[in-house]
Every structure is written in C-alpha cells, then in structure tokens.
Amino acid sequence: MENFLFQKTQEISFALLRVSAYIRRFELRKKMETLGYHLLENVSYENYDLALTTVATIRNFIELAKNIYEIEPVNARILNQELNTLAEELQRKAGIEGELDLETMFSGKEEDSSRKGERPPTLTKVSVPMENAQNKGSDPRERQARILEMLGNPETGSLSLRELSRNFPGVTPRTIRNDLRELVERDLITREGSGPASMYTKKSATPADPTTPPAPSDVINL
C-alpha cells in the first residue's frame, strides 16, 4: 500500500475519533467512530471500492452532524476536503487495479426481486449487450454516445460512475470518469454531488433557434 494513502487514511480516522468525542448524541457519536474504523480497515485490506462507499457515507453523516450543530462548520469543511483528497487517491487505485464485483457473477437478482413485488435497484435496469458494450469501449466518441444513451433512458434516470462503468467491460472507471467530465464540460450532462456519490443526468435537448436557417439537405460534402 502506498504510504500517502495509508497516512491520509490514518489522519482522517484519527480526526473522526477526535470530532466524535464532542458529539452529544450517543448513536451518532458511535456511528462516526465506527465509520472511522471501517475506513481504516477497508483501506488496509486494499478494498478500495468499499472504502469509497465508506467515504461517501462519512460525508453524509458529517453533513447531518453539521446541520444539527454537532460538528462545527469549519471542522466539517476540513474533513470534507481531506475526504475529497482521499477519494481521488482511492479512485486512482481502483482505476489502475480494477475492481472485483461479485454481483456480475450471479444471475436472477432482478427476476427474484420482481416476483416479490419489490422495486429492483436502478442498476439492474441498465441492460447492455456484452458485445455491444465491448465494441463501444475502445472509441471515446462511441463510448460517450453510449453513456448519453444510458443517461437518457427514462427508466434509469440518473446513474453513478460505478453503475456506468459496469456496462463497459475492459474500460477502467478512471476512463469513464474522464468521459463524464468531458460531457459535463460540453454541457451535455449534469453532475450532482461529489466524489463516488456523484450522480449524472443527461440534459434535456434545447429547442433549435428559429432564426437559424436549416442546412440544405442536398449538399454533398466531398
């Protein structure tokens, strides 16, 4: 494990324990302490995917604690800054080393939950043929077009980086994240949230300017 990653995790876990000592609500205090332990444990085991989820959970509890005046805003801001730094490093590690997703090894999850009348998770609604996804994984333009197609699906709506990455076998999450950043800069999609908890949504098509004359349909570009 890289020294920077381990040191940063140690610092954040220690800071969470220090901040938790001043929280009056017992359950919230214990939850913050436990999350600090879980973060250190996940990083120590090099389970970067789960560590990213823990970071997102810690952010949510920090926001709650700040809103109910259990954590000072300045401390919440410092913690979030450090968590952002850690999340970027975890995403880099996960992108380089890949991720093991046991959910992709099993089938029938969507059918079982449908029979029970439960609403399937958003992820299970994204159905992409393997051959199609592989063909669209190497070319950035085709890959970004496929991302826009998935985000424009009314049945799925907003999707996270992790949900989108699973539809591109052989493409690292880091590459998909770069695609998403480019699509945001091109004003084709919007991003809500930060870090691994970010959700991406396709922007609605803007109507054409009626003052702009349409291009001739019989023009042939040589």
Q: Find out whether 88 and 59 touch, Cβ atoms under 8 Å.
A: no
Q: Which domains does the chain show, CATH number per domain?
A: 3-97 (1.20.1440), 120-202 (1.10.10.10)
State the sign of the Cα–Cα–Cα–Cα dihedral 182, 199, 78, 73: positive
Binned at pLDDT 50, 70 and 90, residue 155 comes out as confident
Binned at pLDDT 50, 70 and 90, residue 196 comes out as low
Binned at pLDDT 50, 70 and 90, residue 152 comes out as confident
In sequence order, the β-bridge partners of residue 207 are: none
Q: How many CB atoms lie within 10 A of CB 49?
A: 19
Q: Find out whether 33 and 22 touch, Cβ atoms under 8 Å.
A: no
Q: Which of 182, 200, 183, 204 has the alpha carbon at shortest distance from 191?
A: 200
pLDDT in tens, 118-149: 554 444 444 444 444 444 456 888 898 888 88
> And the tokens for 110?
């969507």
pTM: 0.44
Q: Find out whether 214 and 160 touch, Cβ atoms under 8 Å.
A: no
Better-predicted residue by pLDDT, 171 or 133: 171
Binned at pLDDT 50, 70 and 90, residue 181 comes out as confident
For residues 27-37, give the mean pLDDT.
94
- Identity (one letter) of the amino acid at 193? G
